[in-house]
Amino acid sequence: MVKFYLDNKIARLIILQRIELATPLLKKIRKLFGRSIFSNYITKFFLNANSINKNYYTLMQSELRLLENYLDFNNKELLSIGGGVGGLELLISKKYNCFFNFIEKNYISKKVVYGWDDNNNEGYNDLNLLKSFLLRNDMNKEKFKIFDYDQDILPDKKFDIIISLYSLDYHYDFNIYYKYLKKVSHKKTILVLDTIRAESFKIFFNKVEIIKNDDQTVHKSKRVMCTDII
């Protein structure tokens, strides 16, 4: 497989979740018309799903390659916080035998803000679409569960690997998940996330390793791998 099976609705979610995949023209249109018109109108009718698919697939492959240098996914219990449409998790599931838990938001904000959100009001997902995308791309229905962050009781078990790319502490405060993460982590649980304050994570974890620097982007974030939560 060199692409995912996806339709225009999923392509729209991907653009809302990964704005770097928008073409320069789309980004210009966003600047010109504003984020509200871009999110609610332009992304509904003016996307090239095929090229978004190819680029998203390539990007998720490179995300997986990086993580594979540090993590062994086989026979692991995984938690994905803000995994978007789950392209990375799909690629992991093709290669490794593991179980996925997704915690996500089940709405798309009227005006998508791509920065920090103190109140964590921003959501760019649709959990029915997420489920159908995973199934359409052959993820076994016995191998995953999806939880709505705002409505569901969150899974209460110990996870081996927790992944939150460009979500927890990138768009909203780590503290809103800290207590929960303490409950669902064991000593060797590994959490991977993107943040602009990597140093602060030494307050929360005994081991913090930087595995990637995004210094060419506006946010200048770092990807950290944290173990042994305090």
Ligand X SMILES: C[S@@+](CC[C@H](N)C(=O)[O-])C[C@H]1O[C@@H](n2cnc3c(N)ncnc32)[C@H](O)[C@@H]1O
Q: By CB under 6 A, which span of 3-11, 30-38, 71-79, 116-124 interacts with ligand X?
A: 116-124
89 near ligand X, judged by CB under 6 A: no
* DSSP result, 24-60: HHHHHHHHHH-HHHIIIIIHHHS--HHHHHHHHHHHH
Among 26, 79, 90, 165, binds ligand X (CB under 6 A): 165
Minimum gap (Å) between residue 9 Cβ and ligand X = 14
Q: By CB under 6 A, which span of 47-55, 91-99, 159-167, 197-205 interacts with ligand X?
A: 159-167
120 near ligand X, judged by CB under 6 A: yes
18 near ligand X, judged by CB under 6 A: yes
Whether residue 50 contacts residue 120, with contact meaning beta carbons closer than 8 Å, is answered with no
Whether residue 13 contacts residue 126, with contact meaning beta carbons closer than 8 Å, is answered with yes
Among 12, 30, 171, 223, binds ligand X (CB under 6 A): 171
Q: Given the complex with ligand X, which of 75 and 170 has the nearer CB atom?
A: 170
Per the document, the length of the chain is 230
Q: Given the complex with ligand X, which of 105 and 222 has the nearer CB atom?
A: 105
What are the distances in angstroms from CA 27 to CA 22, 115, 180, 210?
6, 16, 36, 30
174 near ligand X, judged by CB under 6 A: no
Among 38, 166, 174, 204, binds ligand X (CB under 6 A): 166
Given the structure tokens 């982590």, which residue do they identify?
185
Interface mask (CB under 6 A) for ligand X, residues 180-199, using x and -?
--------------------
DSSP alpha helix (H) spans, the chain = 8-17, 24-33, 35-37, 43-45, 49-68, 87-95, 127-136, 175-184
Which residues, 6 or more positions from 60, have their beta carbon under 8 angstroms from its beta carbon? Answer: 87, 88, 90, 91
52 near ligand X, judged by CB under 6 A: no
104 near ligand X, judged by CB under 6 A: yes
45 burial type by CB count under 10 A (0-12 exposed, 13-18 middle, 19+ buried): exposed
123 near ligand X, judged by CB under 6 A: yes
Query: Residues interacting with ligand X, by CB under 6 A?
Result: 17-18, 81-84, 103-105, 120, 122-125, 149, 165-167, 171-172
